[in-house]
Structure 1
Amino acid sequence: MDKIRELSTKKAAVIFTKSSCCMSHSIKSLFYELGASPAIHELDKDANGKEMEWALRALGCNPCVPAVFIGGRFIGSAKDVISYHLDGSLKQMLMDAKAIWL
């Protein structure tokens, strides 16, 4: 859990993914389209990936990827991010965290 906490606060937007996950790819693309440049941590390519997966599950992220943090705060998984995007609050969260500027 400490590794997740540390990595999730290093940038304004952080996404934990797996390289083979199509939803992870979609969420990364959404962030890029909004103008954000999130830190991406691919669990399947990280030596501590399995431990981080378990920590993300303990946070309530099931499936464990994609797991999105904005401003150091756990936002949720793909369905949560898409909901925030549809109601317009995702962009505001990114602006408040200084992940994007308009």
Structure 2
Amino acid sequence: MDKVMNLASQRAVVIFSVSTCCMCHAIKMLFSQMGVNAAVYELDKEPWGKEMEQALVHLTGRHKSPVPVVFIAGKMVGSTEVIMSLHLARKLVPLLREAGAIWL
């Protein structure tokens, strides 16, 4: 858990993902198209990926794969549903501005 929280606090936007997950790909593309230079950790490619996935399961309370999980300004925001809801409600951009992830 400490490793996940440490990584999550190192950049304005951090995404924990799995390289073969279509929802993870969609979230990464959304942030990329918004001009966000997110740190992305592919759990299936990281040496500590299994341990980080278990920590994310604990943090999110989800019983199956918790990815994607997005942290903004060191705080867990959530998965695809939460990010897309914020985006559609026009609340994601202000959150990213406040975190210093975008300047537009």
How does the TM-score come out when normalised to structure 2? Answer: 0.95
Q: Deviations over 1:38-69 (max 9, x none)?
A: 00000000111111111101111533100000
Q: Is the 8 A contact 1:8 1:72 kept in 2?
A: yes
What's 1:12 paired with?
A: 12
Unaligned runs of 5+ in 2: none
How many pairs are equivalent? Answer: 102
After the TM superposition, list the runs of 4 or more consecutive aligned residues in structure 1 that deviate by more than 6 angstroms: none
Superposition CA RMSD, Å: 0.9
Q: Deviations over 1:70-89 (max 9, x none)?
A: 00000000111000100011
Report the Cα distance in structure 1 between the residues aligned to 2:93 and 2:31, rounded to whole angstroms.
9
Report the Cα distance in structure 1 between the residues aligned to 2:31 and 2:60, rounded to whole angstroms.
22
Superposition pairs of residues 20-59 of structure 1, within 5 angstroms: 20-59=20-59
How does the TM-score come out when normalised to structure 1? Answer: 0.96
